[in-house]
Amino acid sequence: MTARATGETPTDRRGQRRATDSKWRTAVTCIEPNKILLRGYPLDEVMGRLTFGEAIYLLLVGEVPSPAIGSLLEAMLVSFIDHGATPPSTLAARNTATAGAPLRACVAAGVLGFGRYHGGDIEACMQFLHDGMEQVRHGASYRDAADRLVLRCLESGDAVPGFGHRYHTRDPRAARLFQMALELEVEAEHIQMIRAVEMMLEERRPENEPPLPVNIDGAIAAVCGDLGIPASVADALFIISRVPGIASQALEERDRNEPMRQIDPKDHVYDGQSERRLPERRK
């Protein structure tokens, strides 16, 4: 995210140095008449050559992703794209839609409906895994480091960040993401650490309590960690990934329901497509 001196900035030419030194700088996108450079690449050349997901990575990280990183990134963005009608962010957007507000107001309200308890686990889990890996770097085994992390949560009463889900006992998105990381050979120490924590949680689980599996926040945190993506960019990816879901839910609210209705999140039924398989060419 930080700017690197490139040797091509206008400050090189002596006569302009004073003038540009007082200006503020941006390294994201260069706009000139009839030319747009996205991190240096002409935008019209990027169109048709990079996918939207790859262009998101280029924008946030500064470089075109490798094929493996690109695939994982698309999968992460897809994994979070929607989670039905009941997340608070979706309900904030639907309540805004039922009042007859424009779509951009609904989307903004939806984005505001993330908070400490909703979408905040990615950054917390990245810090958590980072703490564990610090211990490994100082000689602890993954198993011992994981044990200490879990005990710390148990003692403080805090939830273990990146684990557990109010609907799922096994988060299908997390499992798929780990499988892809393995196949694409990007699995490294963050994933190893989160798996060690998962095992430790299972060992220490009281008999009458349900298992506490890695959730999608945890999986994304671990994968982002292994890809070298900083926490602030992971947070951006999370927000970006859910906007299409928020927009779809707001449009559906507007199209299928009476305005000014009272939305009970529990009182709905799914009446869409029944389960189906992707067309052959996409497998």
Please select the residue that binds a second copy; options are 13, 15, 117, 206, rule is CB under 8 A. 117
CA 23 to centroid of chain Cα atoms: 33
- Alpha carbons 184 and 216: distance in angstroms, whole number: 18
Give yes or no for a contact between 112 and 92, defined as CB atoms under 8 angstroms apart. Answer: yes
Window 158-217: residues binding a second copy (CB under 8 A): 166-173, 175-177, 180
Which one of the spans 39-47, 125-133, 194-202, 203-211 is the region binding a second copy (CB under 8 A)?
Answer: 39-47
Residue closest to 129 by CA, chosen among 84, 180, 195, 82: 195
Task: Compare residues 114 and 142 and give the one whose CB is closer to a second copy.
Answer: 114
CA dist 136 to 124, 146, 246, Å? 19, 10, 40
Report in angstroms how near the CB of residue 146 gets to a second copy at its nearest.
Answer: 24
Task: Compare residues 43 and 136 and give the one whose CB is closer to a second copy.
Answer: 43
Which one of the spans 16-24, 188-196, 201-209, 220-228 is the region binding a second copy (CB under 8 A)?
Answer: 16-24
Both tokens assigned to 232:
């602030």
Report in angstroms how near the CB of residue 211 gets to a second copy at its nearest.
Answer: 12
Residue 277 makes contact with a second copy by CB under 8 A: yes
Which one of the spans 144-152, 203-211, 221-229, 265-273 is the region binding a second copy (CB under 8 A)?
Answer: 265-273
Residue 231 makes contact with a second copy by CB under 8 A: no
- Alpha carbons 30 and 40: distance in angstroms, whole number: 8
Number of Cβ within 10 Å of residue 223's Cβ equals 28
Which one of the spans 110-118, 132-140, 189-197, 199-207 is the region binding a second copy (CB under 8 A)?
Answer: 110-118
Please select the residue that binds a second copy; options are 155, 185, 207, 271, rule is CB under 8 A. 271
Give the SS3 label for residue 157. coil
Give the SS3 label for residue 50. strand
**DSSP structural state of residue 83:** B
Strand partners, 214: 163
Residue 103 makes contact with a second copy by CB under 8 A: yes
Both tokens assigned to 17:
């140095």
Window 61-80: residues binding a second copy (CB under 8 A): 62, 64, 71, 74-75, 77-79
Please select the residue that binds a second copy; options are 69, 114, 164, 224, rule is CB under 8 A. 114
Both tokens assigned to 65:
């992703």
Please select the residue that binds a second copy; options are 185, 207, 209, 267, rule is CB under 8 A. 267
- Taken as a whole, the chain contains a residue count of 283
Window 140-159: residues binding a second copy (CB under 8 A): none
Binding characters for a second copy, 79-98, by CB under 8 A (x = yes): x-xxxxxx-xx-xx--xxxx
Give yes or no for a contact between 89 and 119, defined as CB atoms under 8 angstroms apart. Answer: yes
Task: Compare residues 138 and 256 and give the one whose CB is closer to a second copy.
Answer: 256
Compute how many residues bind a second copy; rule: CB under 8 A.
143
- Alpha carbons 265 and 251: distance in angstroms, whole number: 17
The helix (run of H) or strand (run of E) holding residue 194 is helix 189-203
